[in-house]
Amino acid sequence: MRVLNLAGVGDEIRQKGFLPDGVAWRKLDGTFIAGINNGSSNNGESQKDDPERMVALPLDRLGRILYNHSMKFPCIKYLFNHKVISIGQDENTAWVDVEVTGSSEATRFEADYIVGCDGANSIIRRSLFGDWEFPGRTWDEQIVATNVYYLFEKYNYWDSNFFIDPVHWHMAAKITKDGMWRVTYGEVPGLTRDELIARQPEKFKTILPGHPDPGGYKLVNISPYKVHQRLAESMRVGRFLLAADAAHLCNPFGGLGLTGGIVDVGGLYECLKGIYTGVADESILDIYSNIRRKRYLEIVDPISSDNLRRMFAIPPNEVLEKDEFLKLCKKCETDKDLQQKMAEGAHALNYDFTQHYNMSKSS
Ligand SMILES: Cc1cc2nc3c(=O)[nH]c(=O)nc-3n(C[C@H](O)[C@H](O)[C@H](O)COP(=O)(O)OP(=O)(O)OC[C@H]3O[C@@H](n4cnc5c(N)ncnc54)[C@H](O)[C@@H]3O)c2cc1C
């Protein structure tokens, strides 16, 4: 939200989205284990009016806001149906060759710098490092993400809930004001997409409160997918930069995929603006790569990995004694200072690159 506020879209995002009340960890039967309350009730009132507080809004709606807002700037142009097929660079410039739908000839676009924001399969990253060079690992766990309308509120769910269970681990989080929820659950590895989709009604009957049959909820979307923890060797090669999924991947538990990408872009904006206005030299782009990779290695990768493992690795009856993070959450319930520190911890992904203005020129 810090980056999005600076971009001038914070108010609209808050207006179209909502402020989640908190996150709870539970046993499969719904028993509360521990939680972080963000302040719509009980103990977290201090965060209530914080403009940097987390907002929930589905990605397509966020994309629409960003698109409409950016259209106000004449220097921004969107070219849909343009597919980058190859890249190149020399001392003075960088270029991409682009296949345009409906045209048989590739078109070349040149620029001082090119940012590859082209997702997990990034052609920019593959051209820079090789098709299979994306260091990291793929989880054995099979994930199924669904969007569903169901009255979770009736069962006293908080807005985000993680369910700890060796087999039926899952997450249920409200994602729209009108009551659409994301339910993401673990499944047996090795099944086909069709098999996974066929098992969904039985799975919902087991894991959802009230054990509903398909007529009891409205399933809007279902996507089985595999998750990865991967980080590119560098986020800068000469005049090419990488940001977001093109540069790094993580599992979705904790929302660090999207937020990690947004802070990349906010940081890269500061670096490129510094170069453009003459207060920083090119070396600030190496700082960008080093800092963003460090944040991934120190924050995004370990926290998202713990968030996933926590749901199945320790038996639910023992998790409060054995899991350091849940111990901290429990402490927060009575310790206001610790609660404040945990809330501030959410900003640890950020980095102010303007501190390297001028300095990078002399170094
Ligand atoms: C099922 C699922 C659930 C997820 N849930 C969450 C979640 O709950 N929370 C969270 O934080 N993150 C989640 N993520 C991750 C999140 O969606 C991504 O981190 C985020 O979308 C990354 O944004 P991006 O712009 O880097 O890449 P993308 O959103 O993949 O966008 C890449 C863009 O580049 C374009 N492109 C690709 N190749 C080319 C080319 N050759 N030429 C031109 N354009 C190209 C694509 O068309 C696309 O528009 C989820 C991902 C999936 C798949």
- At 113-164, the pLDDT tens digits run 999 999 999 999 999 999 999 999 999 999 999 999 999 999 999 999 999 9
Q: How much of the chain, in percent, has pLDDT values that exceed 90?
A: 87
Question: Residues 6 or more apart from 23 whose CB is under 8 A from it?
Answer: 35, 36, 38, 158, 159, 160, 161, 162
83-89: long-range contacts (C-beta < 8 A, 24 or more apart)?
Answer: 84/118, 84/123, 84/124, 85/123, 86/123, 86/127, 87/114, 87/123, 87/124, 87/127, 87/128, 87/240, 89/238, 89/239, 89/240
What pLDDT was estimated at residue 44?
Answer: 42
pLDDT band at 344 (very low <50, low <70, confident <90, very high): confident
- Distance (angstroms) between ligand 1 centre and the Cα of 329 equals 31
Q: Whose CA is nearest to atom 45 of ligand 1?
A: 118
More confidently predicted of 30 and 47: 30
- Distance (angstroms) between ligand 1 centre and the Cα of 256 equals 12
Name all residues whose Cβ lies below 6 A of ligand 1: 59, 83-84, 117-119, 123, 145, 223, 225, 244-246, 252, 255, 257-259, 261
Strand order in the sheet with 240-242: 114-116, 240-242, 236-237
**Would you say residue 68 has pLDDT above 90?**
yes
Mean pLDDT, range 289-310, rounded to an integer:
97
What pLDDT was estimated at residue 41?
Answer: 39
Q: Which residues, in sequence order, are bridge partners of residue 110?
A: 95
pLDDT band at 272 (very low <50, low <70, confident <90, very high): very high
Mean pLDDT, range 269-284, rounded to an integer:
96
Q: Whose CA is nearest to atom 49 of ligand 1?
A: 118
pLDDT band at 48 (very low <50, low <70, confident <90, very high): low
d(CA 171, CA 316): 15
Mean pLDDT, range 293-313, rounded to an integer:
96
- Distance (angstroms) between ligand 1 centre and the Cα of 119 equals 5
Q: What is the pLDDT of residues 236-247, one digit of tens each?
A: 999 999 999 999
Mean pLDDT, range 262-291, rounded to an integer:
97
What pLDDT was estimated at residue 151?
Answer: 95
- Distance (angstroms) between ligand 1 centre and the Cα of 303 equals 20
**Would you say residue 220 has pLDDT above 80?**
yes
Strands 248-249 and 218-231: antiparallel
By C-alpha distance, which of 271, 297, 305 is closest to 285?
271
pLDDT band at 360 (very low <50, low <70, confident <90, very high): low
What pLDDT was estimated at residue 166?
Answer: 96
Tell me the best of 61, 70, 118 to mutate to test the pocket of ligand 1, counting ligand atoms within 8 Å of each CB and taking the most: 118
Determine which of 102-106, 150-154, 163-167 has the lowest per-residue pLDDT on average. Answer: 102-106
Strands 32-37 and 82-89: unpaired
pLDDT band at 335 (very low <50, low <70, confident <90, very high): confident
Domains assigned to the chain:
23-32+137-229 (3.30.9.10)
What pLDDT was estimated at residue 38?
Answer: 76
Decide: 175 and 209 in contact? Cβ < 8 Å.
Answer: no
What is the number of the ligand 1 atom nearest to the C-alpha of 124? 41
What pLDDT was estimated at residue 332?
Answer: 87
Tell me the best of 1, 54, 59 to mutate to test the pocket of ligand 1, counting ligand atoms within 8 Å of each CB and taking the most: 59
Q: What is the mean pLDDT of the chain?
A: 93
**Would you say residue 361 has pLDDT above 70?**
no
What pLDDT was estimated at residue 362?
Answer: 47
d(CA 240, CA 179): 41
More confidently predicted of 357 and 37: 357
What is the number of the ligand 1 atom nearest to the C-alpha of 123? 41
Q: What is the pLDDT of residues 316-327, one digit of tens each?
A: 999 999 999 999
Mean pLDDT, range 20-44, rounded to an integer:
81
What pLDDT was estimated at residue 43?
Answer: 40
**Would you say residue 46 has pLDDT above 70?**
no
| For helices 256-276 and 283-295, angle between their N-to-C axes, nearest 10 degrees | 170
